[in-house]
Chains A and B, each alone.
Chain A
Amino acid sequence: MTETAGPEKVRSADQIGLSAREAAAPPPRDAPPRDDGASWARKVDRLEVDHRDGVRGTNVAGRRLTGPVQGFGKMWQKTYRMNAGTQITPEAAIAVWREHFPEFWPKGNRFAGALTGINPGDVALLDLAIGGGVKLSTGVFVLYADAESFTLMTPQGHMFAGWITFSAEREGDATMVQAQVLMRANDPLYEIGMIMGGHRKEDKFWVATLTALGQRLGLPAPQVEARNTCVDTKRQWRHSRNVWHNSMVRSVLQTLAAPVTSLSRHRHGAKSQA
């Protein structure tokens, strides 16, 4: 062990240029400390999936969750923000969003979650339209949910490794509603896809989703502002083997194999009846 010259307390909060309000230690409270115990999902190692009607339900069971640390591509923070007006509170906006989440998705995409809405620990199955009549089957895990925000995290094989946080807060008199994606493309194939129009498609997806939410909240002409920031330009080549789990490749193969699988299942059923 090397000798250390310390501890040397070099800076306190106010010495590092924080405002007086931020620097107060401990901060003044007019409310008891918040409790996040019930808002976080319990730890899972691999995802378990229940059958859900209307989606293929593949590429999720047994997969691990992936955060931005496990992804391959450049790291992006994408923020989609909408002014929801003065009439609705942040809590009311989030309650509507959590309860009716799938209804705001653009046409052609399916989100099959729990019937009770969005709750910590839930796994939702997704079928996403990727063109050519092919659906990309994947899922999301509800990482966090409280009255003001909720967060979905992606599994291995999803287009991106990361999470999406949906939140609402007061800004002046207005309630601002926001979806924020913190992500890296999960593997080299997805990274190419993101560059070749994937980012644009994703922007369109979330702008359409927020617009639909705004309409449900009674806004006459919802305006959504999108802002994309590249947080890390480095690609994580050590995670290039994530491509093994690629749900797009697997979904295409599953679609091609579907007639054979269906015939085999049909034959097996006929034999059992005989």
Chain B
Amino acid sequence: MGTPMLSMDVRRFGQTTAVVDIKGEVTAACEPMLMSAYEAAGGSATSRLVLNFAGLEYMNSGGIGMLVTLLVRANRQRQQLAAFGLSAHYREIFELTRLDEAITIYDSEESALDGAVR
């Protein structure tokens, strides 16, 4: 498996919300990293996980599959999954794969967090 060209940082907002800043290339090879970031974001203690894709440079279909796996994990814990920072290209991919029906997409971090605490 190739070297993941990716970094992830986790920021927490209060007890229930966490933002994961994703930078680089999202492929199936990044699954262990994303799941580690999920745990670092509080695991099941977090009620809302927000993914920041502003630093996303490349994503293949394996990357989309990995997001579905994360979504299943979040659903199992009754957590909401949201995203922001998607370029028009990646927003179109979310719509094409109909992932946008399960992961709410926001235009900005502010609106994503606002949605989180509303």
Contacts and interface: CB of A to CB of B under 8 A. Distances in A.
B11 A8 contact: yes
Interface residues of B, number: 53
A209 interface: no
A270 interface: no
B94 to A, nearest CB: 10
Interface residues on A, range: 35 or more
Contacts of A119: none
Interface in B33-79: 33, 36-37, 39-40, 57-62, 65, 68-69, 71-72, 75-76
Contacts, number: 149
Given A1-B118, A16-B40, A182-B68, A26 B7 contact: yes
13 contacts: A2-B14, A4-B117, A7-B13, A8-B11, A8-B13, A22-B6, A22-B33, A39-B60, A65-B97, A67-B68, A69-B71, A163-B61, A169-B1
Interface of B: 1-14, 17, 19, 23-25, 28, 32-33, 36-37, 39-40, 57-62, 65, 68-69, 71-72, 75-76, 89, 92-93, 95-99, 101-102, 113-114, 117-118
Interface of A: 1-2, 4-13, 15-18, 21-27, 29, 33-37, 39-44, 64-70, 75, 77, 143-144, 146, 149, 151, 153, 163, 165, 167, 169, 171, 180, 182, 231-232, 234
